Amino acid sequence: MPSIRLLFLWHMHQPFYKDLVTGEYRLPWVRLHALKDYFGMVKLLDEFPGVHQTFNLVPSLITQIQDYVSGTANDPFWEVASRPASELGLEERRFAVQYLFQANTDNMIGRYPRYRELWQKFHATPEEAARMGARISDSELADLQVLSQIAWMDEVFLQDSQIRELIQKARNYSGEDQQLVIQKQKEFLGQVLPAYAEAAQRGSIEISTSPFYHPILPLVCDTNAGAISHAGLPLPTERFRHPEDAREQIARGLTLHEQAFGFRPHGMWPSEGSVSDEVLTIAHQCGLKWLATDEGVLGRSIGFLFHRDGSGKLDPEGAERLYQIYRWEQDEAHVNVFFRDHSLSDLIGFVYSGVPPQEAAHDFIHHVKDSAVPLLSKGQNAIVPVILDGENAWESYPRSGREFLRRLYQTIEGDPVFEALTFSEAIAREKPPATIGSIFPGSWINANFDVWIGAPEDNLAWDHLSAARDFYADHADAASPDQRQLAHEELLIAEGSDWNWWYGPEHHSANDRDFDELYRKHLSNVYHALGAAPPEVLAQPIAAMRARLQFTPQTAYIHPSIDGRNVGYFDWLGAATHVADRHSSAMHGKLFLLDTGYAGIDEENLYCRLDFMELAGEWAVENTLLRVTIETAEKSFRLEARISADGIQESTFATNGSEKKRIEDDIALRVRLETIFEAQVPLRLLGAKQGATVRVRFSLWRDRLPLDALPQEGSLELRVLPEEELAALPYAKP
């Protein structure tokens, strides 16, 4: 019987945060993700011996984990978390308030009541950290130090008896409690890499690699590749072309894996799935047997458009082309290539965090089986690669997504149609694969390199790298071996993809400034190592200043006309407002449809408004649901509107899961949708009396799966107060 050969690849990666000159870590994410994600993801497979998977460990991540385990890592974030609160000065307190709240608000901070309490009291933007840091007491700071570390621990580590006791204690932590948390972190970090080695030795997993410092290999080989994948793309002033660096990044990654795990990897996920013919040739020469990239690259390579219906299902011809192994051949070079199913991978990465675990697992299995039908019906095996980030997505899942993964793996292991294999196992079991003579240069994002090159910030970063690389070529011979080695290492680090991930318009985070400064520091170290002063331009930020996310509280009563048309500017003046932050996540691929949410009250009603990125007619198809969740201290309400390109088809209202009633049956409830969505809900219906707090959240769903939400975390919050009291609130004053 034909089978579905399901190939999971979890990509584990963090940038190189260490400054090689000072030895200091600029950001703590290697340590924190090692505690929360890297260990738990592989350890979970102990429960499912029939589920084999591939884990792609980036070499620069491995070296940083080793640094922490050896005790040589100089991590100021760890230092601030471990020292007695009474010994921290004002600057260190500011640092703690700025950085120790950097965690998912709902699933990590909200899991611990005291942590959420502190977040509500002291959560601040970096600009406000100075004021907040001066206000936090020693006892509050100690609780923040302990809970901010526990929040990043894996579900397995949370079962440790001593950690459980600390969680049960909940607050008023002592210096001894702090030290216990730090000691446990050291113990847990030491278990991460051995867990992968043990799983690989028993055949449960395959460990693959990436280029050492995670560069975009085609661009390191030649930045002109950016204009091949996107005709007319603006390029850096200076052409960067160093295929010898690309070769070294691959070769050094293979060597490190052999040192760390006792064997050389057979396969590689090239950074961001970025490939070209030149890259595949180098990979073959380095001894690699397989690589993986995205279906978009396959489509552009073979001149085929992969078409999906509204549920993400490929048409039969697309399924037959995608679900097989390809053998790339040019001259004497050859390597097997896998192409990820973009839609299936994104369901896990961006969608299922908002779905109950059993329902999400069932939906994923349904999608996989449905997609594989064209091959199974012909008696052929379906090779289905599911490749995604193995760390960032789980912050958005309750309890790190472990329940979802358990339900998923249980189903796969118990269904005879599935074989969950490593990539090398799939190669060994398949007939000779289809051949491909040339591969289009591109990445997993739109089959081009636009995220990393083309924007003014990106191109400036490349020009700085080119200048440093040229300086090295001109001056390295005159330097000592140690100086030359340090300068060369800093260049390889600066070639990493992560710096340009944050430049340009696509991605932003609370750490934009840190990434910018660290990138320029790595380049400056090249000049310092060779005995020269860095050029003045490296003292100037590359990242431009950007508008901050808008959160505006209600300052006055509103009395809007509920007509679904954006014609009355003054109707919503004074309402609480939330403007979507389209760049808040490190993840790429999140669908953004909601632009701005409004909520406000008057004497009798709650009013809600939602503006869209595009008119609903552009994306609202059958089974699209717009949901407004309204919460008070006692109850939760759901206002739901089933919408299409023609507007609202049906609308309902329900309380605390009770039976829905049609809104048309209550004249006091009103909803409208033309260019915008507007709703009116009587306060009496909510039981919201004077002094009550009302929270509002908007979300879009299709086929019971979430598309977008506003806010992404938390809710718009309103106080039910007389208008004169709203106007008198401190935040309402000019």
The residue-averaged pLDDT of 420-442 equals: 95
90 within domain boundaries:
yes
672 and 574 assigned to the same domain: yes
User: Do both 582 and 692 map to the same domain?
Assistant: yes
Are residue 527 and residue 657 in the same domain, yes or no?
no
Which pLDDT value is given to residue 616? 62
Rounded to an integer, the average pLDDT of 585-596 is 68
Do residues 698 and 595 both lie within one domain?
Answer: yes
**How far, in Å, CA of 691 to CA of 725, rounded?**
10
Specify whether 161 is located in the same domain as 99: yes
Domain-located, residue 27 = no
Q: Which of 145, 173, 188 is the last residue of a domain?
A: 188
- Lowest mean pLDDT, pick from 81-85, 267-271, 320-324, 535-539: 535-539
Domain boundary among the residues 539, 573, 604 is at: 539
CATH of the domain at 465: 1.20.1430
Take residue 346 and report the two structure tokens written for it. Answer: 């994104």
pLDDT at 547: 47
Of 50-59, 139-148, 203-212, 390-399, which gets the smallest average pLDDT? 390-399
- Distance (Å, whole) CA 327 – CA 280: 11
Residue 55 lies in a domain: no
| Between 88 and 506, the higher pLDDT residue | 88
Amino acid at 693: T
pLDDT at position 380, please? 96
Residue 617 sits in a domain whose CATH number is 2.60.40
586 pLDDT above the threshold of 60: no
Per residue in 440-484, pLDDT (tens digit) is: 999 999 899 999 999 999 999 999 999 999 999 999 999 999 999
Neighbouring residues of 463: CB distance < 8 A, sequence distance ≥ 6: 236, 237, 238
Print burial letters for 475-503: b (CB count within 10 Å at least 16), e (below 16).
Answer: bbeebeeebbebbbbbbbbbbbbbbbbbb
Of 494, 517, 539, which closes a domain?
539
Compute the distance between CA of residue 495 and CA of residue 572 in angstroms, rounded to an integer: 48
Average pLDDT over residues 592-605: 91
- If asked whether residues 499 and 597 sit together in one domain, one would say no
Please report whether residue 8 resides in a domain: no
E-strand stretches of 240-375: 267-268, 290-294, 326-330, 333-340
What is the rounded average pLDDT of the residues 259-288?
97
What are the pLDDT digits (tens) for 705-716? 777 888 877 789
How many angstroms separate the Cα of 490 from the Cα of each of 17, 66, 213, 588? 12, 19, 10, 27
Q: Are 677 and 641 in contact (CB under 8 A)?
A: yes
Q: Chain centroid to CA 255: how far?
A: 29
Mean pLDDT of 660-682: 86
Q: What is the mean pLDDT of the chain?
A: 91
| 303 in Cβ contact with 311 (< 8 Å) | no
Q: Which of the pair, 573 or 322, is modelled with greater confidence?
A: 322
pLDDT score for 568: 67
- How much is the pLDDT for 125? 61
515/598 same-domain check:
no
Which residues constitute the domain of residue 155? 73-188
**By the 8 A CB rule, do 264 and 311 touch?**
no
* Nearest-angstrom CA–CA distance, 31 and 97: 19
pLDDT above 90 coverage of the chain, percent: 75
Range 476-483, long-range pairs (CB < 8 A, 24+ positions): 476/530, 478/530, 479/529, 479/530, 479/531, 483/529, 483/530, 483/531
Neighbours of 34 (CB within 10 A): 26
What's the number of domains the chain is made of? 3
725 located within any domain: yes
Q: Which residue has the higher pLDDT, 499 or 583?
A: 499
Residue 487 lies inside a defined structural domain of this protein = yes
Q: Could you tell me if 698 and 614 lie in one domain? A: yes
Digit-coded pLDDT (tens) for 176-204: 999 999 999 999 999 999 999 999 999 99
- 487 and 598 housed in the same domain: no
> pLDDT at position 67, please?
97
Range 379-387 average pLDDT: 97
pLDDT at position 658 is 73
User: Does residue 604 lie in a domain region?
Assistant: yes
- % of the chain beyond a pLDDT of 70: 94
In this prediction, residues 628-645 reach a mean pLDDT of 91
pLDDT of residue 581: 67
Residues 668 and 711 in one domain: yes
What is the per-residue pLDDT for 363?
96
pLDDT higher than 80, residue 733: no
Residue 550 has a pLDDT of 58
Q: How confident is the model at residue 262 (pLDDT cuts 50, 70, 90)?
A: very high
CA angle 504, 507, 508 (to 5 degrees): 100
Same domain for 728 and 639:
yes
Mark whether 514 and 568 lie in a shared domain: no
Q: Nearest 5°: phi and psi at 653? A: -140, 135
Split at pLDDT 50, 70, 90, the class of 663 is confident
Residue 293 pLDDT class (50, 70, 90 cuts): very high
The verdict on residue 633 lying in a domain is yes
Q: Which residue has the higher pLDDT, 288 or 581?
A: 288
